[in-house]
Amino acid sequence: MKPINTNQEYSNYVDKKSPNSPILKNCFNAFWVGGLICTIGQLIMDFCMYKGLDQTSATTVVSITLIAISAILTGLNIFNKIGKFAGAGSLIPITGFANSIVSPAIEYKSEGYVMGVGGKMFTVAGPVLVFGISASVIIGIIAVLFI
Amino acid sequence: MEFIQSIDWMGILKCFIVGGIICVIGQILIDKTKLTPARILVVFVTTGAILGGLGIYKYLIDFAGAGATVPLLGFGANLAKGAIQEVQTSGLLGAFVGGVKASAGGIAAAVFFGYLASLIAKPKIKKQ
Amino acid sequence: MKRIGKQTISFDSPPTILETASIVGPKEAQGPLAKYFDQCLEDEFWGEKTWEKAESKIIKETVNTVISKSGIAASDIDYCFAGDLLNQCISSSFGLRELNIPFFGVFGACSTFVESLCLASVFLDGKAASNVLCATSSHFCSAEKQFRFPLELGNQRPPTSQWTVTGSGAAIVSASGKGPYITAITPGKIVDMGIKDANNMGAAMAPAALDTLITHLQDLDRKPSYYDMIISGDLGYIGKEIVTELAETKGYNIKNNYEDCGVIIFDKEKQDTHSGGSGCACIGTTFSGYFFKQLRNRKLNRILLIATGALTNATTSQQGESIPGIAHAIAIEN
């Protein structure tokens, strides 16, 4: 092996030395867990529509129900195990958004209910709302101009 | 029992596959780019909003139902759809009201259940 | 004492490590070194309400244990050097506030334990003290909370990541005694090879460890084989491999007598700790628990202890700064 002198050489060397994530296994787990979560959502949606709700309301009920389930599983210390196993499979569905709000809420409980729970609740998920809502406002403004 | 008979199993299969594929895209991003979870979520919600704004995402929802609405792409698309719809009824004001209004249920539920969970649960270590 | 070469200090009357103590958390208690620790906790809270309080209690009790094991009265200890990973070294300050011993807060990230031993040795050989206490701690949960994500977040840890050791190690060093002696110290330089991945600390710190190791050997004109064992702090599997390979390119073969505390404290396969252990307590507990006993029983007679630290914080790593590494070495001989 040649001696390493520059940062670039070292960085390349480290990349070679560092094991990669087992991407095939991760993708497989993400696929079936993610698919399963969506399927649960679909069943809830079908049930709501069977009971006479329109599609928009049914979609909202699905979101609220999955968020509630995710919050409970987070509180029971189960969600992080699912997340470790499934990766994006539980992160990308709305369950991941819920988990990223609930987990800091629980973690920062020790700093009080106002500045701890209230203040830190959005440390992970805050950017999602900032970028999501900002994007919707921009799209709305574009719609005003062109429609 | 009538409900179970009414289920469209082909629709469920489409939902499973599309939902799964969207998650696999997220997993590839995680493993290949070293983006943090927060950044991955931002990428998905913004992409969803753009696809929703361009009117493309609704075809995926028509095809896969919850397979497209449950992933965060659907959350973003819903924000965009809400903004555009509200603009049609109330103009510029709608651009500010529409998105959050359409997603209010999910946002309120996450905040409420998050606070509730913090009242009940105690931090625990990962046992792994 | 006198300076030798570029960075090394050797002592005229080498201080003795009189006694050590270690307390570890439940995960470490399931690891291969469990039987060597003074106390293994059953849960990470240890009856406290917060992770931070638990960590303070761990360092406090470890210090109490080392004092009672040593047979020296707390009033006979002249100074203490201690530090940890939490902001402003708060675990040490809270843990040691009732001790009534003059206190130096030390921050060297995970190199704190050996940095404290270095400073203590200089105090002792300089006749400024006759007994000095050194202590350090880290806690998986408080470290995750400060540096990474909430514990309940369902994220995946990449294979390069390391597991912060929960626990505390403490040592009492005396000006006179029967050994093991601290014969030389090599304080390290800050070395930054531009690694930015906070999930690959071993790679970020390895160049510093290598620099300190080679400087030490050159300053004292020694070969790696002079030591029964060269021990680094918390480089983990990846960092250990990097140091071994890069040392070879510089003409030093350390394959046979080099080990890393982060590698031996956990069982990688059974405990899912990826690249190994890390944190101040990694070398703190492994040295205090395991290697000190090996020295006492004369199974090892000459060791070089190189503690490594990643000098980063949560803010700068978000700002995209690289992670500077540091490594301090002490030679301990019977």
What is the domain-level CATH number for residue C156?
3.40.47.40
Within 8 A by CB and 6+ apart from C162, the residues are C201, C202, C234, C236, C262, C273, C274, C275, C276, C277, C278
Considering the domain boundaries, does residue B37 fall inside one?
yes
Do residue C190 and residue C210 come from a single domain?
yes
Look at the pTM and tell me if it is higher than 0.90.
yes
Mutate to test the interface with B, among C145, C152, C165 (most CBs of B within 10 A): C152
Alpha carbon of B93: minimum distance to chain A alpha carbons (Å): 9
CB contact under 8 A, A127 and B42: yes
Which regions of chain A are under pLDDT 50? none
Q: Is the pLDDT of residue B127 over 70?
A: no
Which of C252, C254, C249 lies closest to C229, judged by CA? C254
Could you tell me if B93 lies within 8 Å of chain A, comparing CB atoms?
no
Q: For residue B86, what are the domain limits? A: 2-120
Which of A10, A84, A108 is facing C193, going by the closest CB pair? A10
Which of A4, A26, A86 is facing C246, going by the closest CB pair? A4
Q: For residue A81, what are the domain limits? A: 25-146
Mean pLDDT of C165-177: 96
| Domain count within chain A | 1
Structure confidence by residue, pLDDT tens digits, C102-136: 999 999 999 999 999 999 999 999 999 999 999 99
Mean pLDDT of B30-53: 92
Considering the domain boundaries, does residue B125 fall inside one?
no
Predicted pLDDT of residue B128? 45
Which ipTM was obtained for this model?
0.92
Q: What is the mean pLDDT of chain C?
A: 95
Which residue on chain C is closest to A30 by alpha carbon? Answer: C156
Q: Is the pLDDT of residue C171 over 60?
A: yes
Which residue on chain A is closest to C48 by alpha carbon? Answer: A110
Structure confidence by residue, pLDDT tens digits, C287-298: 999 999 999 999
Percent of chain C with pLDDT over 90: 92
Do residue C41 and residue C188 come from a single domain?
no
Q: pLDDT band for position B125 (50/70/90)? A: low
Do residue C137 and residue C248 come from a single domain?
no
Structure confidence by residue, pLDDT tens digits, A44-74: 999 999 999 999 999 999 999 999 999 999 9
Structure confidence by residue, pLDDT tens digits, C12-56: 999 999 999 999 999 999 999 999 999 999 999 999 999 999 999
Which of B70, B82, B126 is facing A80, going by the closest CB pair? B126
Predicted pLDDT of residue A146? 85
| Domain count within chain B | 1
CB contact under 8 A, A143 and B37: no
Q: Is the pLDDT of residue B16 over 50?
A: yes
Q: Is the pLDDT of residue B37 over 80?
A: yes
Which residue on chain B is closest to C160 by alpha carbon? Answer: B34
Do residue C54 and residue C145 come from a single domain?
yes
| Domain count within chain C | 2
Which of C141, C153, C158 is facing B125, going by the closest CB pair? C141
Mutate to test the interface with C, among A77, A90, A107 (most CBs of C within 10 A): A107
Tell which of C117, C144, C174 closes a domain: C174
Q: Which chains touch C (3 or more CB pairs under 8 A)?
A: A, B
Which of C52, C153, C245 is facing A103, going by the closest CB pair? C153
Query: Contact, C110 vs C85, CB < 8 A?
Result: yes
d(CA C200, CA C195): 8
Q: pLDDT band for position B2 (50/70/90)? A: confident
Within 8 A by CB and 6+ apart from A139, the residues are B49, B50, B52, B53, B80, B83, B84, B95, B99
Alpha carbon of B49: minimum distance to chain A alpha carbons (Å): 6
Predicted pLDDT of residue B126? 53
Q: For residue C62, what are the domain limits? A: 2-174
Considering the domain boundaries, does residue B55 fall inside one?
yes
Considering the domain boundaries, does residue B126 fall inside one?
no
